[in-house]
């Protein structure tokens, strides 16, 4: 494809992702699936440009607004290629808007002025510079003294992380199998089950993935499953199982002699678990729709209740930069209340001596530490398990976090997504 055709495709795809309520990566995947005539090099260029626009959208929109123009996919593309793509010269960019077949129409005078403005030095407001909604930027700045490093890290592309299936393979064998498929990996720094790759991989063509030897899972997320410290003799409930990522991780750790109840109130998500478990050669996960009548009629108590609660996902912006564009202050407030309700429901399922494991992929204290502080004041029969001691017992490497009460993995400190974990034991 010529440059003009590539840019027009970027504009077309940007129109698709911004009007679709689905996560952007799903829309991008579906777009390319429907346009198989686009070659691999062109796909990489177009995809890279789309994510570049999304990762810089606050700055792009600020520039467009400063020129008194109405934001659109076309103007965002012009601004992005002028400001952030140093592989294209000004002349090449203007020439790409030729109006020829498959190319965008010629730039108007206002668009040329926009390009000139974008190419100049611009002083951005701090929240725009760090690509963070203003209401959320103030929270993060107040919570973290190194907020600048944290927000910069959250706007970088994440490595691809695999979790090996210890039920089937060890880490050295998995690394060799991936190398045989031309996927170069490094052993994770914290999780003993983690392999990471700087390059993307086509999982549909990956034999190790199709055979259930590996799963895609961020290293921080793997640690939550590992530090849940589940044993095969335990009764285990994954209360907010979603698509089953942590259920499957725990199931692979304890082996087929143990059993996990994976519960969720979203049936389509819950239905994804069994096919994933089958691919991983695991038959020890029971799926269950969550509702109050079930809890009242069964009255079961568990040794481990995992609450990977719904959250704002602020810790996952490296992988889902579009998430920051979709969440507003109202969503944040509703999410905090929902988390409180889930804690109120789920703690009743923990037997004496059992553990309640609370986790999020958020970096906000209102969803993390403050939730636990409120819960422990209300239910003093629960006590925090010291995370440093738990880490030493289960993983036996140096504990990477400052606070021994909670595990808080952060991208600028640990090169993982942002994850929070608290383990509470019922007396």
Report how far residue 147's alpha carbon sits from residue 348's, in angstroms, rounded to the nearest whole number.
37
DSSP 3-state percent helix, strand, coil across the chain (nearest 5): 50, 15, 35
User: Alpha helix locations (H) across 308-395?
Assistant: 323-326, 329-346, 369-378, 387-394
pLDDT for res 279: 96
Q: For 95-117, what is each residue's pLDDT tens digit?
A: 999 999 999 999 999 999 999 99
Phi, psi of 74 (to 5 degrees): -65, -45
Burial 322-337 (b: 16+ CB within 10 A, else e): bbbbebeeeebeebbe
Mean pLDDT value of segment 362-386: 98
pLDDT for res 106: 97
Which of the four CATH numbers 1.10.3720.10, 3.40.1360.10, 3.30.70.1170, 1.10.10.10 does domain 160-216 have? 3.30.70.1170
Q: For residue 102, how many other CB atoms are within 10 A of its CB?
A: 13
| 186-187 and 194-197 strand pairing | antiparallel
Query: For 3-124, CATH number?
Result: 1.10.940
Report how far residue 270's alpha carbon sits from residue 289's, in angstroms, rounded to the nearest whole number.
8
In a 13 Å sphere around the CA of 106, the CA atoms on its Cβ side amount to 3
Report how far residue 244's alpha carbon sits from residue 261's, in angstroms, rounded to the nearest whole number.
10
Beta bridge partners, 307, equal 358
Q: What is the DSSP string of 347-364?
A: GGGEEEEEEEEEEES---
H/E stretch holding 303 reads strand 302-308
pLDDT for res 299: 65
Mean pLDDT value of segment 224-246: 96
pLDDT class for 18, splitting at 50, 70, 90?
A: confident
Residues 6 or more apart in contact with residue 290 via CB below 8 angstroms = 239, 263, 264, 265
Residues 6 or more apart in contact with residue 152 via CB below 8 angstroms = 130, 412
Q: What is the DSSP string of 82-118?
A: HHT-TTS-HHHHHHH---STTSPPPPPHHHHHHHHHH
Report how far residue 260's alpha carbon sits from residue 231's, in angstroms, rounded to the nearest whole number.
11
Check whether 297 has a pLDDT greater than 60. Answer: no
At 314 the three-state DSSP class reads helix
Beta bridge partners, 358, equal 307, 422
Check whether 235 has a pLDDT greater than 60. Answer: yes
Report how far residue 79's alpha carbon sits from residue 127's, in angstroms, rounded to the nearest whole number.
19
Whole-model pTM: value is: 0.95
Report how far residue 337's alpha carbon sits from residue 305's, in angstroms, rounded to the nearest whole number.
20
pLDDT class for 342, splitting at 50, 70, 90?
A: very high
At 262 the three-state DSSP class reads strand
Report how far residue 57's alpha carbon sits from residue 288's, in angstroms, rounded to the nearest whole number.
40
Q: For 19-62, what is each residue's pLDDT tens digit?
A: 877 888 889 989 998 988 999 899 999 999 999 999 999 999 99
Report how far residue 199's alpha carbon sits from residue 208's, in angstroms, rounded to the nearest whole number.
16
Check whether 211 has a pLDDT greater than 80. Answer: yes
Q: For 153-168, what is each residue's pLDDT tens digit?
A: 999 999 999 999 999 9
pLDDT class for 189, splitting at 50, 70, 90?
A: very high
Phi, psi of 420 (to 5 degrees): -125, 145
H/E stretch holding 222 reads helix 219-227
pLDDT for res 340: 98
As a whole number, the mean pLDDT across the chain is 95
At 63 the three-state DSSP class reads helix
Beta bridge partners, 285, equal 260
pLDDT class for 296, splitting at 50, 70, 90?
A: low
pLDDT class for 242, splitting at 50, 70, 90?
A: very high
Report how far residue 279's alpha carbon sits from residue 210's, in angstroms, rounded to the nearest whole number.
7
Could you please state the CATH topology (level 3) that the domain comprising 219-426 is classified under.
Rossmann fold (3.40.50)
pLDDT for res 102: 94
Report how far residue 285's alpha carbon sits from residue 89's, in angstroms, rounded to the nearest whole number.
55
Check whether 295 has a pLDDT greater than 80. Answer: no
H/E stretch holding 13 reads helix 3-19
Q: For residue 60, how many other CB atoms are within 10 A of its CB?
A: 26
Q: For 124-136, what is each residue's pLDDT tens digit?
A: 999 999 999 999 9
**What percentage of the chain reaches a pLDDT higher than 70?**
98
pLDDT class for 300, splitting at 50, 70, 90?
A: confident
pLDDT for res 103: 97
Mean pLDDT value of segment 66-93: 96
């Amino acid at each position: 494809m010529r440059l003009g055709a590539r840019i027009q495709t970027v504009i077309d795809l940007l129109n698709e992702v911004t009007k679709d309520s689905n996560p952007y990566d799903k829309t991008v995947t579906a777009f390319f699936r429907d346009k198989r005539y686009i070659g691999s090099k062109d796909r990489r260029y177009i995809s890279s440009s789309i994510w570049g626009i999304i990762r810089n959208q606050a700055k792009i929109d600020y520039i467009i607004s400063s020129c008194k123009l109405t934001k659109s996919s076309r103007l965002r593309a012009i601004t992005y290629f002028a400001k952030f793509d140093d592989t294209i010269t000004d002349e090449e960019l203007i020439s790409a808007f030729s109006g020829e077949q498959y190319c965008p129409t010629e730039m108007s005078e206002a668009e040329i002025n926009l390009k000139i403005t974008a190419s100049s030095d611009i002083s951005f407001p701090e929240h725009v510079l760090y690509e963070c909604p203003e209401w959320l930027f103030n929270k993060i700045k107040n919570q973290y003294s190194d907020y600048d490093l944290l927000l910069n890290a959250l706007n970088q592309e994440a490595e691809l992380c695999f979790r090996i299936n210890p039920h089937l393979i060890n880490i050295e064998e998995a690394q060799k199998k991936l190398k045989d498929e031309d996927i170069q990996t490094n052993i994770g720094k914290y999780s003993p089950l983690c392999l990471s790759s700087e390059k993307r991989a086509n999982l549909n063509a990956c034999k190790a993935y199709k055979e259930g030897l590996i799963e895609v899972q961020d290293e921080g997320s793997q640690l939550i499953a590992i530090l849940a410290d589940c044993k095969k003799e335990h009764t285990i409930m994954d209360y907010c199982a979603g698509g089953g990522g942590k259920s499957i991780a725990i199931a692979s750790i304890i082996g087929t002699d143990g059993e996990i109840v994976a519960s969720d109130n979203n049936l389509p998500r819950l239905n994804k678990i069994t096919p994933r478990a089958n691919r991983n050669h695991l038959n020890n996960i029971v799926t269950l729709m969550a509702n109050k009548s079930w809890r009242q009629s069964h009255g079961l108590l568990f040794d481990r209740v995992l609450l990977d609660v719904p959250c704002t996902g602020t810790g996952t912006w490296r992988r889902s930069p579009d998430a920051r564009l979709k969440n507003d202050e109202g969503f944040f407030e509703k999410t905090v209340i929902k988390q409180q309700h889930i804690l109120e429901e789920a703690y009743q399922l923990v037997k004496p001596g059992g553990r309640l494991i609370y986790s999020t992929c958020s970096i906000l204290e209102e969803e993390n530490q403050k939730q636990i502080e409120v819960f422990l004041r209300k239910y003093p029969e629960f006590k925090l398990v010291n995370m440093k001691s738990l880490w030493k017992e289960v993983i036996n490497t140096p504990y990477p976090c400052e606070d021994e009460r909670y595990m808080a993995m952060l991208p600028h400190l640990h090169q993982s997504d942002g994850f929070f974990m608290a383990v509470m034991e019922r007396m």
